[in-house]
Amino acid sequence: MDSVDVQVLKKADEWVRTGRRAVMGTIVRTWGSAPRPVGSLVVIRDDGLVAGSVSGGCIEDDLVDRIRSRALAADRPQRVKYGVTAEDAFKFGLPCGGTLELVLEPVTAESRIDELLARVIEGRQTVRRLEMQTGRVTLAEGTGRDVLSATDEALVTVHGPRLRLLVIGAGQLTHYLAQMALACDYAVTICDPREEYADGWLVPGTTLVRTMPDDTVVEFKPDMNTAIVALTHDPKLDDLALMEALKSNAFYVGAIGSKKNQAKRRERLKEFGVTESQLERLHGPVGIKNGARTPAEIAVSIIAELTAAKYGYEIPAPQPVSPAAAIESGCPV
């Protein structure tokens, strides 16, 4: 499952290869409650076909009209603003007086979209620099600390995964979680030393390692952009990973298992020197509590909790709204 950015880049590359005229837009600045974050992409073909989004529809409609008439970015990059006035904000569906600024660029063979796409698919973070006066593009390796910037001289954008997810266990649940994490722009690594699971791993775009979990976590060097989730249901493997993960700088550490099993796990981890403060970081049972039962539903709950942790939100425990919703799942997360 491709991320939104990859989908946009693939369309831009496809249209250039087939000789179509297209314009790519990048959100470079927002004020107020803009619908999409800085860095969001859209590409519009000369006949009005759209891939990606910068507003959810209203701004895209205006862009289509102006790009088809060659009124915008016909020959070189151009900056445009939407929602500067309250009237424009209402017209273009920008809530609360929101405003956004875009850089639009005509997409050509010199845009190096094909090279950028190949690097991103390989999991390489890439910095793309677009010269505003000439349209010239250069690509460079990302450092992990690069950020988007836009001036009258150049637009600098960062592409490729900036977050990492290490999952312990290559079972069915992990297949769903890995695909969803890829769509959320994580670089995904799966660790499973068990042949019966590792041999069946089939999710492209991920990295599979067969080393022991504790060694894998140490070698991974978790930082503030790293999440670690243990999903084997095997204490011998999950606990090894958690002992190291909870001592690291990972922004999220989670483990599958019922509340009863989590209590037993915490006692075991204490015996191996994990402190109370470190144990407080453990999300277990993993995922938000939304009644999830199937592997796909549980994966959704994990991604939702990862997203909340990434943005610094705490999700309160939900309350069942019907007797059916109150039934305990046979496979607690």
User: What's the average model confidence in pLDDT over 305-328?
Assistant: 77
In the chain, where does DSSP find H-type helix? 4-17, 58-68, 86-91, 113-121, 172-183, 195-198, 213-220, 235-245, 259-271, 276-279, 295-310
For the segment 120-149, what is each residue's pLDDT rounded down to a tens digit?
Answer: 888 788 999 999 999 999 999 988 778 899
Cα–Cα distance for residue pair 330/140, rounded to 1 Å: 50
For the segment 203-226, what is each residue's pLDDT rounded down to a tens digit?
Answer: 998 999 999 999 999 999 998 889
| Tokens describing residue 325 | 């919703």
Query: CB under 8 Å to 72, separation ≥6 — which residues?
Result: 23, 63, 66, 78, 80, 104
Q: How far is CA 202 from the centre of its chain?
A: 20
Cα–Cα distance for residue pair 203/218, rounded to 1 Å: 24
pLDDT at 332: 44
Cα–Cα distance for residue pair 42/72, rounded to 1 Å: 14
According to CATH, the superfamily of the domain at 163-316 is NAD(P)-binding Rossmann-like Domain (3.40.50.720)
pLDDT at 89: 58
Q: Closest Cα partner for 303 from 195, 185, 211?
A: 185
Cis peptide before 285 (omega within 30 of 0): yes
User: What's the average model confidence in pLDDT over 268-289?
Assistant: 93
Q: Domain-by-domain residue ranges, the chain?
A: 4-159, 163-316
Q: Which long-range contacts (CB under 8 A, 24 or more apart) does 37-43 make?
A: 38/148, 39/148, 39/157, 39/158, 40/4, 41/4, 41/5, 41/8, 41/9, 42/8, 43/8, 43/11, 43/12, 43/15, 43/107
Name which of 94-98, 117-121, 294-298 the model is least confident about.
Answer: 94-98
Q: Identity (one letter) of the amino acid at 107?
A: V
pLDDT at 36: 76
Other CB atoms within 10 Å distance of the CB of residue 135: 17
State the pTM of this model: 0.72
**Residues 144 and 270 sit within 8 Å (Cβ to Cβ):** no
pLDDT at 326: 52
Query: CB under 8 Å to 212, separation ≥6 — which residues?
Result: 193, 240
Cα–Cα distance for residue pair 162/37, rounded to 1 Å: 15
